[in-house]
Amino acid sequence: MKRALILAGGLGKRMHSPRPKVIHEILGKPVVKWVIDAARRAGINDVGVVVGHGGKTVKNVLDEDVKVYFQPEQLGTADAVKSAMEFLDGRIVILYGDVPLVRPSTIKKLLENGADMTVLTANTEKPDGYGRIVRKNGEIFKIVEDADATAEELKIHEINSGMYAFNADALKLALKRITPNNQKGEYYLTDAVDILLKEGRTVDTVKIENELEILGANTQKELSLLFRIAREEILVSLMNSGITIEDPASTFVGPDVHIERGAVLKPFTFIYGNSFIASEAVIGPATTLVNTIVGERSSICRSECDEAKVGKNCSVGPFSRLRPGTVLEDNVKIGNYVEVKNSHLFENVKAQHLTYLGDATVGAGTNVGAGTITCNYDGVKKNKTTIGKHVFIGSNSALVAPVKISDNAMIGAGSVITEDVPAYALALGRARQINKEGWVLKKMEANDEK
Ligand code: UD1
Ligand code: MG
């Protein structure tokens, strides 16, 4: 059995933030979730997270299948692991909730190493602050914390990343023995090295290849550095796979976005969440997509889309907003200043200007005139508007829901529609126009006499 336990109990004081540090986001994704997904990509299904400060807030951002353990007091890394005692089983990897760039391949190496304890180490120019790996005859002998190290030990450049894999029985044995007998008065997980070796258990090391993998988000500046590194890595990999990014300096793509080759991202574009962009779609400029699916050859320009699904050959924008639950089938045209929410627009629908479609279904080939509003909210609840196929809705119409407009109907401009409209009918819901002949002249004459 493979498990990952992620330590995220620390206060994160140096962030100077009212929120727990591990929920700060990199490219729209909380730092702790980067770690969880790295573990999952390494083939680990069982993930546990130890939370402490702001524990409930952290729990709220986690998926339900992640087990959460509360550490009431932050007494050190060994104490953190102890608070998840029931989770310790099989081969278990320990990761940090604030170290997001660890690679699945590295986690795999830890899993595959057979030692009772495997320590992930790194050689670094600046070992300050880290635990040092002390070796004897080339083999790891102990880890000494910066605060407890001798002058000689401080010169060691091989450091402890803080990530390990354990065989659970060895880990449990070490946890029983660890005491807070050190400078900080904390329960150090690093003491497990010494304890297990004395017990005749095996301890080994795996060296990290990329130093970025052990960087933590301890300060806002470090968070922004990680953000930059992650962003660049993603953009480079997208470009390498055949996606055109016109201006990488103003383009942001999250780690869970999937983009097919041949897509084009224009400047000032942000694509986050589980978005999917199909081949030859053109996104941007100045566009934000979150959890949005865009079909082949569709374009979205200067617009915001959240939880929307856009079919093939559609165009959206400039300056439009697709809100959650929007589904556009193929060849739909959404023009400028159009808002769509929780609505299904079938093939070839056009809503080109200044429109709000909420809780609506719009049948294929229907034309929604400029300024059309679905009045979906009656002050208490949301109501549905059902519009059939090939309907023509004249400009500046208000469709007061619940209401149904059947196929091929026509709505006169400026109508307020409160009753259902049958197929092929013309509905007019506006005051009749009256022309008063010569009225202006009479008024002028009256003024002249004064
Ligand atoms: C730890 C290691 C050190 C290593 C370094 C790498 C120990 C004793 N030392 O030191 O060898 O070089 O990480 O960054 O383990 N945490 C809890 N509960 C606690 C304490 C910590 O959940 O009671 C979590 C923190 O949120 C953090 C992680 O554990 O994610 C590491 O804690 P931290 O206090 O930063 O450990 P270091 O002193 O940096
Ligand atoms: Mg630390």
Query: For the domain that residue 135 is a member of, what is the CATH number?
Result: 3.90.550.10
Q: Residue 107: enclosing H or E segment and its boundaries?
A: helix 104-112
Write out the E strands in 211-332.
244-245, 251-253, 258-259, 264-265, 269-272, 276-277, 282-283, 287-290, 293-294, 299-300, 304-306, 308-310, 315-316, 321-322, 326-328
Closest CA to 378 of 355, 404, 401, 399: 401
Is 446 among the domain residues? no
Per-residue confidence (pLDDT) for residue 357, from 0 to 100: 98
Q: Which of 25, 20, 24 is nearest to 9 (CA)?
A: 20
Question: Does residue 448 belong to any structural domain of this protein?
Answer: no
The CB of 145 under 6 Å from ligand 1? The reply is yes
Q: Residue 10's pLDDT band (boundaries 50, 70, 90)?
A: confident
Which residue do the tokens 């999250």 mark? 254
Least confident of 124-128, 286-290, 385-389: 124-128
Ligand 1 atom at minimal distance to the Cα of residue 11: 26
Q: Is the CB of 88 under 6 A from ligand 1?
A: no
Nearest to 38 by CA among 109, 104, 120: 104
449 confidence band (pLDDT: 50, 70, 90)? confident
Residue 105 lies in a domain: yes
Residues 236-268 have pLDDT tens digits of 999 999 999 999 999 999 999 999 999 999 999
Percent pLDDT > 90 in the chain is 98
Work out which ligand 1 atom sits closest to the CA atom of 79: 23
Distance from first CA to last CA of the chain, Å, rounded? 100
pLDDT at residue 12 tops 90: no
CB-based burial of residue 295 (10 Å sphere; 0-12 exposed, 13-18 middle, 19+ buried)?
A: buried
Give this prediction's pTM.
0.94
Question: Of the residues 53, 344, 353, 390, which is catalytic?
Answer: 353
Closest ligand by atom to 191 CA: 1
**Do 55 and 140 lie in a common domain?**
yes
Residue 229 within any structural domain of the chain: no
pLDDT digits (tens, 9 = 90+) for 28-64: 999 999 999 999 999 999 999 999 989 999 999 999 9
Q: Does residue 148 sit in the same domain as residue 183?
A: yes
Same domain, 138 and 268: no
Q: Verify that 71 and 138 share a domain, yes or no.
A: yes
Farthest-apart Cα atoms in the chain, separation: 117
Separation of 96 CA from ligand 2 center, angstroms?
Answer: 9
The overall average pLDDT reported for the chain is 97
Quick check: helix, strand or coil at residue 437?
coil
What would the mean pLDDT of 398-425 be, rounded to a whole number? Answer: 98
Distance 1 CA to ligand 1 centre (A): 25
pLDDT (mean) for 325-334: 99
Pairing of strands 91-96, 132-136: unpaired
Residue numbers of the domain that contains 143:
2-214
Same domain, 357 and 289: yes
The kind and range of the H/E element at 76 are none
Residue 353 annotated among the catalytic residues of the structure: yes
- Is a pLDDT exceeding 90 seen at residue 198? yes
d(C-alpha 375, C-alpha 367), whole Å: 18
Q: Are residues 324 and 422 in the same domain?
A: yes
Residue of minimum CA distance from atom 26 in ligand 1: 10
Proximal ligand: closest to the CA of 77: 1
Residue 37: the pLDDT is 98
Which atom of ligand 1 lies at the shortest distance from residue 130's CA? 12
Given the structure tokens 């992640």, which residue do they identify? 66
Q: Is the dihedral of CA 346, 350, 354, 355 positive or negative?
A: negative
Q: What is the mean predicted confidence (pLDDT) over 389-408?
A: 98
If you write DSSP's letter for every residue of 44-83 in order, what string do you get? --EEEEEEBTBHHHHHHHS-TTSEEEE-SS---HHHHHHT
Q: Tell me the pLDDT tens digit for each residue of 339-397.
A: 999 999 999 999 999 999 999 999 999 999 999 999 999 999 999 999 999 999 999 99
Whether the predicted pLDDT of 11 surpasses 90? no
